[in-house]
Chains A and B, each alone.
Chain A
Amino acid sequence: MTDIAGIQTAIDRFMQSDMRGALLPLLHALQEEFGHVDPAAVPLIADALNLSRAEVHGVISFYHDFRTEPPARHVVKLCRAESCQSRGGAAIEAQLSHQLGVAMGHSRKDGQVALEPVYCLGLCAIGPNALVDDRPVARIDSARVVAIANEVEA
């Protein structure tokens, strides 16, 4: 169920800060609070910021971070960029995908875990790296793949 009233309250609260160029910060705030930016929020945001709905939708769809559906309970963001590749990232990606039972870029059907790509976490000398529910994990090897998989099943 879409919590329209809740979204409107969050928007109203945010608008008190009277910020210039407020769209991205507002989208971040909504995603932080509700886990995603509900498409039903688009007209409310457009109204609050005096933008067209197309403009708001265009921004949401441009940025990789904004999701329009609720996230899985756990999110593993694995780095796919060059430095992590040079340290065996591709093999780890395959193992992790296998262990978690979900393809890169997807959420598992039961909603327990999602495996998402990220292009560099700034930890490039100690890869392969991932963010497991926002916690940085470095030097991922086969043992750590298993540990991550166990952690997100809990």
Chain B
Amino acid sequence: MTRVFISKDMASVALGADAVAQAFAKAGCEVVRTGSHGLFAIEPLVEVETSEGRVAYGPVGPDDVAAVLDGSHGTRIGAIADHPFFVRQQRFTFARCGVTDPLSLSDYGVHGGWKGLEAATALSAQDVVDAVKASGLRGRGGAGFPTGIKWQTVLDTPADEKFIVCNADEGDSGTFADRMLMEGDPYCLIEGMAIAGHAVGAGRGYIYIRSEYPFAIEAMREAIARSASRIAPFTLEVRVGAGAYVCGEETALLDSIEGKRGQVRAKPPLPAIEGLWGKPTVINNVLSLAAVPFILAEGAQSYADVGFGRSRGTMPIQIAGNVRNGGLYEVGFGVTLGELVNGIGGGTASGRPVRAVQVGGPLGAYFPPSMFHLPFDYEAFAQAGGLIGHAGITVFDDSVDMAHMARFAMEFCAVESCGKCTPCRIGSTRGVELIDRIVAKAPRAAGALETMPQIRNASRAARTHDEEVELLRDLCDTMKHGSLCALGGFTPYPVLSALDHFPEDFGGGDALREAAE
């Protein structure tokens, strides 16, 4: 019986993988459902097991079974590792994703699973923390804080109870690496969390997964049940979010697990000292925790050897939006933005010129192609007025209206604000109104109150376009410095970068000329 491998990743299923799998099963094949390799242009992908290894075909439809099985199908790729999208990747975290049956414990063992946990349990807690420090691993959730230092704080804080919390809220548009890992290699995350538990002395872990990820929730729950004895006495539980973006912020997430509204807590105290139910808590992104088994199994140095500047190791970069070869690209830091978008991504899917890319989700900056020389590195992006965030890149072609995208950023902040601080809650709403006026070239006139004789210090003239833009910058400044968390604090990144790099979309020239006429 021929064995074929077909992904059951949510993206593959959305592209029709279930029907393809059924067709192969009906033709008498043994169908193994895997995670996705991560290039969606070739999904649904079918790999046929042969004496020379797996031979890939994709995209494949349910009517293509015979042609694939006799080798005549036109989309024959050959070995997936030789495909241009994959040859230069460095798959440290995603090594098994797409290859193995995600829930098979024997597959996991055969492909190097549990080696990191075995190595860790043979070491003292401090030695494990030291290894993570030496690897240079920084948090992959957005802020890039050194993971080992966070773990050290939790290890050093005495308590009767400590927790490991995995942030799987992945709300950023343009990102899907957490989802793919949880669906495609759930034991890797479980292993990473068990290592973290050993390293800081925590007995229990929670994985907080957004409700928009039903496949990942199911995969993680099943994987936890199957691997319970392997990670005992450490225990794990999945908690499901409820459609609040702000719950990705670590303290809002903790409140949400505790059963409260997902509101941001003031810091300090740090969660590492007073986290879940007031106990010392490691809270890390999925990718941070899933990088740890490799570090322990292969040695901190093998991880640290790869990278750029102070950004060590690999980053699972997600190339998304209007791009031809969208997908997951894991590679060492330092690759340039242009190479990712034009080289690997192959430019836009629409075939039109690239006009802008947003890096780091809804709180990330927009960059024009003139900045494509930027290396993928935390510091380089910060210097350029942006951020890497969770490493999602959203590509836009020349049909994009950047004032509209700036407005959307404010609107999104208004919808998702937890409401605790004023700059975020109110500032975002005022921001939407302000951008609407700027775009409509309808600057605000003085209100009835302002024109009353008693009011002496308010301007009686309507604002000019420039004054409205100035006010928008001022508002962004207030949000940036006055917000409690990065939701309000970083919304200025997309807004100001759109304004700085694409001023022509904000009606500047025209409005001024008309005003002068």
Chain A interface (Cβ < 8 Å from any Cβ of B):
20-25, 27-28, 49, 55, 58-59, 62-66, 81-87, 118-127, 129, 131, 134, 136-139
Contacts and interface: CB of A to CB of B under 8 A. Distances in A.
B321 A81 contact: no
Contacts of A123: 10-11, 14, 176
Nearest to A22: B259
Contacts of A129: 14
Given A25-B240, A63-B242, A82-B321, A126 B15 contact: yes
A124 B322 contact: no
Most central of A118, A119, A120 by chain B CB within 10 Å: A120
Contacts of B175: 120, 122, 124
Contacts of A85: 405, 408
Given A59-B260, A123-B176, A20 B277 contact: yes
B277 A138 contact: no
Contact of A82 (B14, B173, B242, B327): B173
A102 to B, nearest CB: 20
Contact of B323 (A23, A55, A66, A125): A125
Contacts of A134: 214
Interface string B165-184: 00000111111101100000
B14 A125 contact: no
Contact of A62 (B170, B239, B244, B412): B244
Interface of B: 10-11, 13-15, 40, 170-176, 178-179, 211-214, 239-245, 256-262, 277, 318-323, 326-327, 349, 358, 361-362, 392, 394-397, 400, 405, 408, 412, 415-416
B392 A124 contact: yes
A124 B259 contact: no
A59 B244 CA distance: 11
B243 A65 contact: yes
Contact of B14 (A22, A81, A83, A138): A138
Given A24-B239, A125-B326, 14 more contacts: A25-B239, A58-B261, A63-B242, A83-B392, A87-B321, A120-B171, A122-B178, A123-B10, A124-B321, A125-B11, A126-B14, A126-B40, A136-B14, A138-B14
Contacts, number: 143
Contact of B259 (A59, A121, A122): A59
Contacts of B277: 20-21
A28 B408 CA distance: 30
A121 B40 contact: no
B170 A125 contact: no
A126 B11 contact: yes
What are the 9 tightest A-B residue pairs by CB atom distance, in nearest-first order?
Answer: A125-B326, A23-B259, A81-B173, A63-B242, A64-B243, A124-B320, A136-B14, A138-B14, A65-B242
Contacts of A21: 239, 257-259, 277
B259 A64 contact: no
A123 B362 CA distance: 15
Nearest to A140: B14
Nearest to B13: A136
Given A122-B10, A124-B326, A124-B392, A62 B40 contact: no
A120 B259 contact: no
A124 B349 contact: no
Nearest to A120: B173
B16 to A, nearest CB: 9
B242 A27 contact: yes
A28 B240 contact: yes
A122 B179 contact: yes
Nearest to A20: B277
B242 A86 contact: no
Most central of B171, B242, B258, B327 by chain A CB within 10 Å: B242
A63 B243 contact: yes
Nearest to B259: A23
Contacts of A125: 11, 40, 176, 318-321, 323, 326-327
21 contacts: A21-B239, A21-B258, A22-B259, A24-B240, A25-B239, A28-B242, A63-B243, A81-B173, A81-B362, A81-B412, A82-B362, A82-B405, A83-B392, A87-B322, A87-B349, A118-B243, A120-B172, A121-B212, A125-B321, A126-B326, A139-B15
A81 B321 CA distance: 10
Contacts of B322: 86-87
A122 B394 CA distance: 12
Contacts of A64: 242-244
Given A24-B242, A66-B242, A86-B322, A119 B412 contact: yes
A136 B13 CA distance: 7
Nearest to A55: B260
A88 to B, nearest CB: 8
B126 to A, nearest CB: 29
B387 to A, nearest CB: 15
Contacts of B412: 81, 119
B405 A122 contact: no
Contacts of B11: 122-123, 125-126, 136, 138
A20 B266 CA distance: 23
Nearest to A119: B245
A119 B171 CA distance: 8
Contacts of B321: 82-83, 86-87, 124-125, 127
Contact of A122 (B213, B240, B243): B213
A123 B176 CA distance: 7
B259 to A, nearest CB: 3
Contacts of A87: 321-322, 349
Given A28-B240, A86-B397, A136-B10, A124 B262 contact: no
Nearest to A51: B259
Contacts of A25: 239-240
B141 to A, nearest CB: 15
B248 to A, nearest CB: 11
Nearest to B177: A122
A36 B311 CA distance: 46
Nearest to A64: B243
Contacts of B392: 83, 124
A132 B175 CA distance: 21
